[in-house]
Amino acid sequence: MGENTQNGTTNGRDSAKAENPESRVDGMYEYGYRKSNYGPDELVTDAHGNPISVVDAMMSAREASETETVTPHLCYYSPRIPGNTGSAIRLCAVTGSILHLVEPLGFNLHDTKLRRAGLDYHDMAHVVLHPDFDDLVTSMPNSRIIAFTAHATKLYTEVDYKPSDILLFGPEPGDIPDPMDIMAGPHVAEQVRLPMRPSLRSLNLTNCASIALYEAWRQLGFKGGA
């Protein structure tokens, strides 16, 4: 009888846990990412909560070129880690910037496990997808491209930023070498770097972008901020 009582207590606890809303929500995620059996479009909704396509939620290249911003644009060339891009989406949403993603990407925007924090409908309205780098250059003819690279000698604080600038970051470190034809090409007006202790390898991509974007916004008087 004691054993039956113990089992009854255990089953009751399991039932209570199953009814706990927080437990149900936690069960939908693995280490901050949505499980693969949940459709990605569930994460993106319109103003009424209806699911929409990720790409449909994005800004077009033409809209980006015609939009007046209070902070420089941010560009990720061939990003590979979805969590970094998700964080960058939210970064641009809160600073009033526009995020340009240049293909090839290391993940699929339609089915990737991007962080949920970066996939709100209104946040995605700050994102532009370019098929290649030439499309970025031609669609933003009035923008100065400032490349952030460890090969630069000039510090990022030594530039006077403008809202029309594009802050360019290359892919996350990996087996593919940095595309120096992109980071040091004729389209680049400035090459700058963030200082680091020489004993350490690198800083997270979106951490770097955050430092750079907020320095630019500081120089511009945090216009539009609260």
pLDDT tens per residue across span 28-43: 333 333 344 444 444 5
120 and 61 in one domain? yes
- The answer to the question of whether 170 is labelled as a binding residue is yes
92 and 199 in one domain? yes
Nearest CA among 225, 60, 69, 44 for reference residue 122? 44
* DSSP code for 22: H
Residue 102 lies in a domain: yes
Number of domains present in the structure of the chain: 2
φ/ψ bin of 101: left (φ > 0), alpha (ψ from -120 to 50), beta (otherwise):
beta
- The answer to the question of whether 185 is labelled as a binding residue is no
71 and 22 in one domain? no
Q: Which two tokens stand for residue 172?
A: 């996350």
The β-bridge partners of 75 are: 100, 168
pLDDT of 177 > 90? The answer is no
Residue 226 lies in a domain: no
110 and 14 in one domain? no
Q: Which two tokens stand for residue 44?
A: 């993106």
Residue 36 lies in a domain: no
Residue 224 lies in a domain: no
66 and 8 in one domain? no
Pairing of strands 33-34, 154-155: unpaired
Give per-residue pLDDT as tens, 66-115: 999 999 999 999 998 888 888 898 899 899 999 999 998 887 775 445 64
- pLDDT for 178 equals 64
Residue 56 lies in a domain: yes
Mean pLDDT over all residues of the chain?
Answer: 79
pLDDT of 20 > 70? The answer is no
152 and 56 in one domain? yes
- pLDDT for 45 equals 61
Residue 168 lies in a domain: yes
Q: Residue 89: give the domain boundaries.
A: 44-219
Burial 35-51 (b: 16+ CB within 10 A, else e): eeeeebbebbbeeeeee
Three-point CA angle 211, 100, 206, nearest 5°? 30
- The answer to the question of whether 202 is labelled as a binding residue is yes
* DSSP code for 196: -
Q: Which two tokens stand for residue 29?
A: 């995620």
Give per-residue pLDDT as tens, 102-155: 998 887 775 445 645 445 656 777 899 999 999 999 999 999 999 999 889 999
57 and 6 in one domain? no
